[in-house]
Structure 1
C-alpha cells in the first residue's frame, strides 16, 4: 500500500492513494452546524438539516436502523445492485466510480467488483464528510483491489462538490448517489443539486441514483416508527449533537419523536415535538430558543418518487433516464441517467 497524500503536507502525490480534506480538521463542520442552527431555529417553523444526525453515535444508530425488519430501503437497494451491477457496468462501460456519501462503501463493492470483472476498473472517488471513514475505506479498497486508484474527498456536499477531480478523458464515469439521500432535499433544492451533479458529467457519463418509491403509506411510516425505538433515538441524537458541539442545554426527555407520511407532498417527515413549554439556551451562539408545548422541530424530509417525478427532476438537470431497476415489490429503485 502506498502512502496517503494529504493537502496539508508537502509530500508529492503517489499514484495509488490520495485523500484531500476540506473540512479544516472539524472546524468547518462546526461552522456549518452553527450556521444551520442559527438559521433553522430562528424561523417561525423550526427545522434542521438531516446531515447533523451523523456523529459517531448517530452513525451507529443508523447502522442498527438498516438492520431493522421495518426498514426496507437498505436491504432492497442492495438486492437491486446485486442483481444488476454487471448490467449497469456493461451499459456504461465505466472506468471510474465517484460516490457521494460513500460511508463504509458496503454497497459500492458490488459495483467495484462488477467493474473489475469487466476489466474496466481504474479509479474510485469516495466523498464523505467523515474523515476517518474516508481514510478507512480508502486504505481497505487499495488493499482489496490491485491497481485501483483511490482519490478520497472529505467534504460537505453543499460547499465542496466542485472539489471532485475531473474525469479521466480516456474513460467514462459513474457518479453514484445511493441510499435514497436525494429524497432529503426539497424539490427546488433537489433539482439544483442534480444540476450540480450533471456539471460533473461529460457526455456519455452516468448518474446512478437510489430513490425510495411511493407505496402504501403504512409501509413507509413503519420504516420510520420502528417498534424497537431505534429511529426515535436516532432522531433525538441531533439534540445531543447540539448540546455537545454548541454548548446547548436541550433536555432529550422533553422531546418526543414524530414521523408521518405527508400524502400531499409524498414525503416522510421526521420531527421532534416539545412535550411542554420550554426555553433552550445555545451558549456558543448566545441564543435562547423558545418552544411552545407540542411545538415541532422538523429534522428530516424523505421524498418518495414515481417514475414521472424522477424523469422530470432529471430532465430539469439536463439528464435523461436510461434505466430504472426495481425490486419485485416496487419498494425502491436504482436508476441510471446519462448526459445526452
Structure 2
C-alpha cells in the first residue's frame, strides 16, 4: 500500500522559495510569483504598451492563422491553457475550433482566473470551461473530460522564463499531460537586435518597473517582510551570450530587510535577479523539443520574424 503525501500549502512553498533565493550568493526570486492579482493586472497593462511588441505580434499571427491552428488541434479536443491570465488570446482559437470538448485555463492567480473564466463562459455558452488554480510548473490534474485529444496552449513566450534545463523538463511534463498524439501550441519570442528587445522590458511609462517591484509588495503582504520597494530600481538588459533578457531589482542604498523572521543585507548596487526571458532559434527549439518527446509539425511567424507560434505533437 502507498500513502499519498499531503500537498504543501502554497504559502509555505512561497516562503521557502523566497528564503532560498535571498540566501543565494547571487540573490534571486522566482518569476512565477509575479502573478498575484495586482501583478496580473499590471501585466495586462504591459501587453498593451507600445514598446511591448510580443503580445500584439503573437495575436496577429494567431488571427491570421487560427484556422490552420484549429485544424491541427482537430475536432473534439480538450484545450488546456497554461498560465492562462486574462484569457484574451485563446478566444481567437476557440472561435475556430471544431466542437471543442472543453477548455481548461490553468493559472496561479485564483481570483483573476475565476473572474476571467466566468466572463469567457458567458460568452461561449456551449463550451465547458473548467478553470484550474494551480502552478503549471508542478504536476496538476486536468479535469476528466472525454475528448479525442488533449492540446496544451502555451502562448506569450512564457517558456522563455525558464532556464533551458527547466524549460526542457516542462516540455516533458506537457508531453505526458497531453499523452501520445496530443498537441502543444506554443508561442516563442525569437532572437533579434537588443535595440528592439530592451525597450520592451524598459517601457517609458514605468509599468514594467511597477510590475517588477510588486513582487516585493507581495512578499511584504504575504510573508510579513519590510521591503521598501522604492529603495530598489528596475533594470532589464539583454545578455547576448545567453540569448536572454534579464530583469533585476537593484538596491539603491545599503539596507537590511526582514523576511519571515530572517534578516537579509543589501549593498548599494546589489541586485535581485527576478526574471529571465530567453529568445529562441527555431532550429534549436525543434531539436530540443524532439529530445523531450515532441515533434514539430507546423510553424507560423510574422513578417519581421520577431515571434513564432509552433504546433508540436507528443510522440507515441
Could you tell me how far apart the structure 2 residues matched to 1:312 and 1:49 are?
27
CA contact (8 A) 2:253 2:269 kept: yes
Q: Please show how residues 157-236 of structure 1 align to structure 2 within 5 Å.
A: 157-159=136-138, 161-166=139-144, 168=146, 170-236=147-213
Q: Secondary structure at the match of 1:260?
A: strand
Q: Alignment partner for residue 34 of structure 1, among 15, 19, 24? A: 15
Match of 2:275 in 1: 300
User: CA offset at residue 148 of structure 1?
Assistant: 1.5
Residue 253 to residue 151, structure 1, CA distance change in 2 (3 Å) = closer
User: CA offset at residue 230 of structure 1?
Assistant: 1.2
Q: Secondary structure at the match of 1:175?
A: strand
Residue 142 to residue 255, structure 1, CA distance change in 2 (3 Å) = closer
Q: Alignment partner for residue 265 of structure 2, among 263, 281, 290? A: 290
Q: Alignment partner for residue 110 of structure 1, among 92, 96, 113? A: 92
Could you tell me how far apart the structure 2 residues matched to 1:83 and 1:269 are?
31
Match of 1:328 in 2: 303
Q: Secondary structure at the match of 2:92?
A: helix
State the 4+ residue runs in structure 1 displaced beyond 4 angstroms.
Answer: none
Q: Secondary structure at the match of 1:149?
A: coil
Q: Secondary structure at the match of 1:158?
A: coil
Could you tell me how far apart the structure 1 residues matched to 2:31 and 2:154 are?
16
Q: Secondary structure at the match of 1:38?
A: helix
Match of 2:3 in 1: none
Match of 2:4 in 1: none
CA contact (8 A) 1:322 1:338 kept: yes
User: CA offset at residue 81 of structure 1?
Assistant: 0.7
CA deviation string 1:179-215 (max 9, x = no partner)? 1111110010110111000001233221011111100
**2:312 maps to 1:337:** yes
User: CA offset at residue 223 of structure 1?
Assistant: 0.3
Match of 1:79 in 2: 60
CA contact (8 A) 2:72 2:311 kept: no
Q: Alignment partner for residue 46 of structure 2, among 52, 58, 65? A: 65
CA contact (8 A) 1:178 1:210 kept: yes
Q: CA RMSD in A?
A: 1.7
Could you tell me how far apart the structure 1 residues matched to 2:71 and 2:307 are?
22
Question: What TM-score, normalized to structure 1?
Answer: 0.86
CA deviation string 1:89-137 (max 9, x = no partner)? 112314221101111211111111001xxx3322111111122233223
Could you tell me how far apart the structure 1 residues matched to 2:144 and 2:294 are?
19
CA contact (8 A) 1:126 1:153 kept: yes
Match of 1:14 in 2: none
Question: What are the ranges of 5 or more consecutive residues in structure 2 without an aligned counterpart?
Answer: 1-6
Question: What are the ranges of 5 or more consecutive residues in structure 1 without an aligned counterpart?
Answer: 1-23
User: CA offset at residue 166 of structure 1?
Assistant: 4.9
Farther-moved stretch of structure 1 (188-197 vs 52-61): 52-61
**2:80 maps to 1:98:** yes
**2:247 maps to 1:270:** yes
Aligned residues: 308
Q: Secondary structure at the match of 2:300?
A: strand
Match of 1:132 in 2: 111
